[in-house]
Amino acid sequence: MRPRSCRNQVVSSTNEKYDQSILAARTMDVERLRMDFPLLATGDEAERPIYLDSACQTLRPKSVMEAMYDYYSSFPACAGRSTHRLATEVAIRCDDVRDKTASFFGAADPAEIAFLKNATEGLNTVIFGCGLTRGDEVLTTDYEHNSVHVPLIHAEQEVGIKRRTVPSLLEGTFDLEAFERMISRRVKLVAICQTSNVTGYTLPVKDVIEIAHEYGAKVLLDAAQAAPSMRLEVGALGVDYAVASAHKMLGPSGVGFFYASKELSAALKPLSYGGHGVTGTTLDSYELLPPPERFEAGLQNYSGIIGAGAAIDYLERVGLEDIADHEVSLNKRMTRKLMDIPSLEILDPHDPNLRRGILAFNVEGVPSHDVAIILDHSRNIMLRSGMLCCHSLFEARRLEGCVRASAYLYNTVAEIDEFTQAVEDIAGRL
């Protein structure tokens, strides 16, 4: 077995890892950034929410809202249909966003980027449009969001594909060696998340892609949880398909980023058919537009696309590396303060360096939803609870759910301290 750039490793959790030198954010002026977010910059400071649910949906800066309002107030028309100057302005703005999206994700050609309504639509487009037939194998993981897991179950039932799952290791990391044992020439598609929305763990996707391609399989990458603070670089990775959602990246809801490599996109069937996706029809035939427009049938969310472009501009100005450093710094602080509470269990992996901005936990004897409700009502702390749209993972681990705190670029050390103290108070009542 040849060496890879990333191998599984067990990392011990000791207090030495979380000393004070790594607890503060490094270069970002968080207090200044918070002024860009109306929810965090207005009203009485004591009444502002502590928002730790960014893995579900981030807050939006004023620049995103202003860009969307600019569409509705200045050029509220349809692109690609009418020829008047307002429609032309919309088309120019959307083309500009497509260009910057391609650059942001490292795509070689803007035509490799389509705007869908969310990442889920992109995942379904590939699973049902890439030509899988009865007997074809699809290899996936036990980390997968329902947006990967459920379409694959449906394809198994309706198409007759064979779905196989790579189980994670006990410490919550990806078992690359098991993946190598399970892949074969029968595998036509590998469908994996880049970062788990439950634990924040990032899989060794470059190794996975290399191995998959050696066996002739294509790779579908769910990058929704990675894209907010990680440079994807689809071209350098060599991934075949990738998806992300603007609402996890400071952008509006209702906009998904869909990447399909130029070599494969022309053979990929759209999920929806209709206006704008075709170049012409007769009473008994139609001809699709070339990618990416063939995947964008129907009226587009123009204000959302323009707002998504403003979100990408904002992320580029702040810097993804600085955002990632800030996330990990806050996660280390959370971990250090919570790891020794006897009645609290942090979901693996325990090392915060492997979890980016996410800390998922359970308090013994207190249902996850109860913990979340108590934190919301008593301390104005907002986070996620339950099975996080990843039911299969929790069922496999025999867990009824978890509480997930997810920090992002606008969270502060003071907020983390308030959160951890509140959790300690809940656990201390047991």
At position 350, the amino acid (one-letter code) is H
Tell me: do 195 and 51 sit in the same domain: no
- Looking at residue 27, its pLDDT comes to 65
Q: Report whether 359 contacts 336 (CB < 8 A).
A: no
Nearest residue to 224 via CA among 131, 328, 321, 123: 123
**pLDDT tens-digit profile of 47-58?**
899 999 999 999
Active site residue 402: no
DSSP state of 247: G
Q: Of 282, 316, 350, which residue sits at a domain end?
A: 316
Q: What is the CATH number of the domain that holds 292?
A: 3.40.640.10
Mean pLDDT over all residues of the chain? Answer: 92
Query: What are residue 363's DSSP bridge partners?
Result: 344, 366
At position 345, the amino acid (one-letter code) is E
Looking up tokens 């869909």 gives 258
Range list of H helices, 144-247: 146-158, 176-182, 205-214, 234-237
Q: Of 291, 316, 341, which residue sits at a domain end?
A: 316
| Selected catalytic residue, list 94, 193, 389, 402 | 389
Tell me: do 147 and 262 sit in the same domain: yes
Q: ∠ at Cα 115 (110, 118), nearest 5°? A: 140
Tell me: do 347 and 325 sit in the same domain: yes
Tell me: do 160 and 244 sit in the same domain: yes
Task: Provide the angle, in degrees to the nearest 10, between the axes of the packed helices 62-74 and 85-105.
Answer: 150
Q: Report whether 223 contacts 194 (CB < 8 A).
A: yes
Residue 3 lies in a domain: no
Backbone angles phi, psi at 63, to 5 degrees: -60, -35
Confidence at 19, pLDDT banded by 50, 70, 90? very low
Q: Which two tokens stand for residue 100?
A: 């910057």
**pLDDT tens-digit profile of 190-213?**
999 999 999 999 999 999 999 999
**pLDDT tens-digit profile of 215-229?**
999 999 999 999 999
Task: Indicate the length of the chain as a whole number.
Answer: 430
Domain that holds residue 296: 64-316
Tell me: do 132 and 206 sit in the same domain: yes
